[in-house]
Chain A
Amino acid sequence: MRQVGDGTRLNSQERLFLSLAEQLTRPLLTVSHLSELAVADDPAALAHWQTVRAIADSSLQLVEGYTLSLRVHGKVTPLNLEPITISALLYDTAELLAPFARQYGVDVELDTGPRAQPVLADRAVLQAAFGSLGQVFVTAQAESEERLPVRLSAHRSRHGVVAGLYCSSTQLGVDSLRRARAIQGQARQPLQHLVGGPAAGVFVADSLLQTLAAHLHVARYHNLTGLAATLQPSQQLHLV
């Protein structure tokens, strides 16, 4: 891999994408801030401005997730591993996702169980991953006739703490994710039976989770299927 002169491990194409993503955050932030002002200034069009703001914020979060992924992969930004209470992190993610979901009339639910063990991870990376994934699931439900709630959930398994998002009992199978990996970077998004758009959030989430030596997999929990990651419990905090 060619070094690009600043000590990072980004190749020239990644450097280009990083620059593009960083550039895109600026107009998105401006739209978000100006709509935040307009929410207060223009009560007659309140609902429209709330929509503009929610869409701008969610796009900003997606681009930020992609940027973070590139930065961590390229060693521009170091990983900050720490013990994380997964239920609190999923709660924060649900709070961030809620305004976007509200625009589409989709409910966001939280189910972390009574004793979800702390995990060793990078908080920003994990939150960006679940946030990106959540946007895809919300969009998918908005396009479906059932319009089921999107559920953020964490539970213990033999291999660690399984945390992810669930939305359907039938639409998501192992095959779809296998196909996803086969065509990643070469074709359109892999979950066409769930959502018709590009679903970039799935790729962003997977890329972010790979920085934590985890990856997305199809998971089943409480009669729902979804995409989740198995995270390593934090033994240190567990002792405390």
Chain B
Amino acid sequence: MHILLIEPDRLEARAYVTVLERAGHTVAHTTMAQSAVHLADERMPDVVVLELQLPGHNGVEFLYEFRSYPEWQDVPVLLHTFVPPRELTQTPILQTELGVQRMLYKPATTLVDLCSAVQAVMLATS
């Protein structure tokens, strides 16, 4: 499976790319929302793993643009973010309109948890 990883911290991204590639996926990584759209166009991801707190345009802005293209409306998106989960649940639009499948709180998520969540999202949408 092709995964688009949008993660601003390069050290963290290195760990995520390693563990996801070991799980058999191909991973395209970018640190910013703008380049993520171009990368998505090149790689046609099966799943997007997204941090909301990005430099420049934030993750929500990325999602609005991403979902505006017909070919990406059904691509599952998994939030993996430092934003606390109970603050995310106050923003139901993420799930109702922007199609976020799963939310993971980074400080409480191990690499194994991340892999399992990606796998579960893929199974749920396949």
Across-interface contacts of A30 in B (CB, < 8 A): 9, 11-12, 15
Determine whether the beta carbon of A26 is less than 8 Å from that of B9: yes
A91 to B90, CA, bound (A): 29
User: Interface range on chain B: under 10, 10 to 19, 20 to 34, or 35 or more?
Assistant: 10 to 19
| A34–B11 touching, CB < 8 Å | yes
User: Could you say which residues of chain B place their CB within 8 Å of the CB of A78?
Assistant: 86, 90
Shortest beta-carbon distance from B20 to chain A in Å? 12
A155 at interface by CB-CB < 8 Å: no
Q: Is chain B's binding surface mostly helix, strand, loop or mixed?
A: helix
A22 to B87, CA, bound (A): 15
In the complex, A16 has a CB within 8 A of chain B: no
Task: Using CB atoms, name the residue of chain B closest to A68.
Answer: B84
A71 adjacent to B9 (CB under 8 Å): no
Known: A29-B12, A30-B12, A34-B15. A64 touches B107 (CB 8 A): yes
Chain A residues near B82 (CB-CB < 8 A): 22, 25-26
Q: Which residues of A contact B111 (CB under 8 A)?
A: 33, 36-37
**Which A residues are CB-close (under 8 A) to B11?**
30, 34
Chain B nearest CB: distance from A67 CB in Å? 8
Q: Does B18 count as interface, using CB distance less than 8 angstroms?
A: yes
Within 8 A of A (CB), among B61-107: 82, 84, 86-87, 90, 106-107
